[in-house]
Amino acid sequence: MAEALSCDYCGKGIEDTPEENAWHGVTPYPGDMPNTGMCLACGGDPEARTTRKRMGWALVSFVDARIPIIRDALSSANRASFEKMTYEQKANVVTRMVARGVIV
Ligand SMILES: [Zn+2]
C-alpha cells in the first residue's frame, strides 16, 4: 500500500505512486522521506499536453522569475532572437545560465 504524503510545495495530499508523486523512486530522496512528496502539478507531469504543465509549477515559477533578468541583460540583437524562442527554449536558456553560474 502506498504511503500518504503531502506535496512539499503546495501541501496537497498525495500517494507515493508514480502517478501522484513526481519524486517517487528518486534517490537520494529530495524530500523529508516519511512525509513529503511532490505532486505532478508542482513537480511536472511528463504526460501533460502543455509545456508549463510538463515542467511543473515549481520550475515554471523559477524560470518565469529569471526570463526578464536575462532579457534585460542581453544585447538588442540577442534579445530579438531570445524573444522569438518558444517558452521551452527560453526555459533551457534559463536553466543553462543558472547551471553556468551566470545568474542565480
Ligand atoms: Zn503540489
**Distance from Cα 12 to the centre of ligand 1, integer Å:** 6
Report residues near ion ligand 1: CB below 5 Å.
Answer: 7, 9-10, 12, 39, 42
Residue 74 Cα to ligand 1 midpoint, Å, equals: 33
The single-letter DSSP state of residue 75 is: -
* 13-45 pLDDT tens trace: 999 999 999 999 998 998 886 799 999 999 999
- Whole-structure pTM value: 0.77
Mind listing the pLDDT tens digit for each residue in 73-97? 999 999 999 999 999 999 999 999 9
The alpha carbon of 77 and the centre of ligand 1 are apart by a number of angstroms equal to 38
- Domain map of the chain by residue range? 1-43, 54-99
In the chain, what are the helix, strand and coil shares in percent, each to the nearest 5? Answer: 45, 10, 45
DSSP output for 25-69: T-SS-SS-TTTEE-BHHHH--TT-SSHHHHH-HHHHHHHHHHHHH
Virtual CA dihedral for 34, 35, 37, 39, nearest 10 degrees? Answer: 140
